[in-house]
Amino acid sequence: MTDPVNPSGDDLADSLRTIAESKPLVQSLTNTVTINDVANLVLHWGALPVMADSPGDAGEMAQGASGLLINIGQVPDGRVEAMHEAGRTANEREIPVVLDPVGVGSTPTRESVAETLLEDLEFSIIKGNYGEISALAGVEAEVEGVESVGEYDEIEHTATAVAESTDAVVVASGVEDIVADADGSYRVSAGDEMLAAVVGTGCMLGASLAAFDAALSDDLTAALYGTLAFGIAGERAAEMAHDGPASYRRNFHDAVAGLAGEDADTFDLEDRIERIT
């Protein structure tokens, strides 16, 4: 695969075919609000979903998984224990682990959960909205519930700082998606405003990144192409007939399945990924 900063349709098609052909088992510890959407998105990309999230079972399932998603949308004690258990197993097996620090910055409990996970585990990708990534960096952030509000003019530098401190690739999702590693940051131009009208699209992006990272050999490539493919699916869903958020949500699932099953080598990806720092 060529330089992920200058992707072609062939490159995106190759990544999608790699997922479909390898069918990685992606284990997700996520919240009950979005668990069905998360499982379906993993399946639509061509991977295999499993939602083992209880102590004992979580660590055992991670023994056979190809990738792991840890989403802190809900943090009862048992699930947090299972997060650490599955994460340690994944680290021992050297399979990628994606962290989605949902709502971090909104309550001390979520901040504590995220802090202990970052202390205990190694993550390949960390994905959050602008406010969540800013909260992880220790800079001013406005997070209401699980939503990012406020202005984040330096988000590319903030994302790079989190990447440097965690040794992970960081995806900051917002009006423009920012992907950063310790060497710099990139802007991914893809998506549609209707994605913000559906609860759970952030969780679904985290699941998509886990699927791409489980199949591809490079974390930065997985983050860039996973974010790009997710955004393109969002655009294609908006082009289908819909009456509002409910039908757009249905369209989005269909668009992901269609994108994964089509010849993406015909897509014009010029200027979709831009190096910015």
Please state whether beta strands 177-181 and 169-173 pair in parallel, antiparallel, or not at all (unpaired). Answer: antiparallel
Phi, psi of 94 (to 5 degrees): 60, 40
Q: Which residues, in sequence order, are CB contacts of 239 under 8 Å at separation 6+? A: none
Q: 104 near 72, Cβ under 8 Å?
A: yes
Tokens (6 digits) for 180: 């950063």
Whole-number CA gyration radius for the chain: 17
Owner of token pair 């990309």: 45
Which residue in 100, 27, 35, 36 sits closest to 61, CA to CA? 27
* Helix axes of 108-120 and 130-137: crossing angle, nearest 10 degrees: 70
Q: 127 near 98, Cβ under 8 Å?
A: yes
200 is in an annotated binding site: yes
Owner of token pair 């960081």: 170
8 is in an annotated binding site: no
231 is in an annotated binding site: no
Q: 128 near 103, Cβ under 8 Å?
A: no
Pairwise CA distance, residues 26 & 40, whole Å: 11
51 is in an annotated binding site: yes
- CB neighbours (10 Å) of residue 119? 7
Which residue in 21, 19, 85, 23 sits closest to 50, CA to CA? 23
Q: 268 near 6, Cβ under 8 Å?
A: no
Binding residues: 51, 127, 173, 200
Binding residues for ATP: 127, 173
Binding residues for substrate: 51, 200
